[in-house]
Amino acid sequence: MPETEGLGTSVAGMIRRMQRQDLVDLGADKRIRITKQGLEGGKDIARRHRLAEWLMVKLLGMDLHQAHRL
Strands (E), 1-70: 24-26, 32-34
70 Cβ contact list (under 8 Å, min separation 6): 56
> What would the pLDDT profile of 23-48 be if each residue is shown by its tens digit?
999 999 999 999 999 999 999 999 99
For 40, the 3-state DSSP assignment is helix
Which tops the pLDDT comparison, 70 or 38? 38
- Average per-residue pLDDT in the chain? 89
User: Domain extents for the chain?
Assistant: 1-34, 44-70
Give the pLDDT of residue 2: 55
Least confident of 4-8, 27-31, 60-64: 4-8
Q: Is the CB of residue 53 less than 8 Å from the CB of residue 64? A: yes
